[in-house]
Chain A
Amino acid sequence: EAQVTQNPRYLITVTGKKLTVTCSQNMNHEYMSWYRQDPGLGLRQIYYSMNVEVTDKGDVPEGYKVSRKEKRNFPLILESPSPNQTSLYFCASSSGGGHNYGYTFGSGTRLTVV
């Protein structure tokens, strides 16, 4: 089944403890992206990647890091999480080809930083 898989689904952590949210897609998509979703603020892009080793900042990159060493994986790293990073996070991927620019989203990771 074609899908984007994020782990974990739920995570509670403490301020300052480094964490990684993994994202993997099995569709051979070139484009991958991370979003956070907060009430009243919609979906805001954190980082995106156009291919292996090609990443760029989105609208809210502060406090986050990403890497794209393999086409299928795009982990999101929080080196020193803070309570304002408590949010619902989505990873997404897209082929970006032809007329199909739609992104397929993972199921989401609900992160709480205390």
Chain B
Amino acid sequence: GQSLEQPSEVTAVEGAIVQINCTYQTSGFYGLSWYQQHDGGAPTFLSYNALDGLEETGRFSSFLSRSDSYGYLLLQELQMKDSASYFCAGRAAGNKLTFGGGTRVLVKP
């Protein structure tokens, strides 16, 4: 099985950069996904890393290092609308996902 650890909460101001780390212990690991969830809403897919390195999608970037069993999500030019919970999720065979506990990001003016 898989287990993924991420910080529970991060606070930052508008315009800042936030990095959310995710470490995993797993067997049969295929890749790392990131999801965003606003309060009262459903999770939405942000990114997926199958290979080591950085994937950039607009203001958000995601990184994976398989040798370190580690990944992170980088949120740049933070906006108030980025206040949400962010989940890393490990992908295994059968497209099975195991989620970390989530990181609540609070953006202050």
Contacts and interface: CB of A to CB of B under 8 A. Distances in A.
Given A48-B96, A108-B42, A102 B33 contact: yes
Given A42-B87, A50-B95, A101 B102 contact: no
Interface string B43-66: 111001010000000000000000
Interface string B1-37: 1000000000000000000000000000001010000
Q: Is the interface of B mostly helix, strand, loop or mixed?
A: strand
Instruction: Give the size category of A's interface with B.
Output: 20 to 34
Contacts, number: 60
Instruction: Give the size category of B's interface with A.
Output: 20 to 34
B76 interface: no
Given A43-B43, A59-B1, A102 B99 contact: no
A41 B87 CA distance: 12
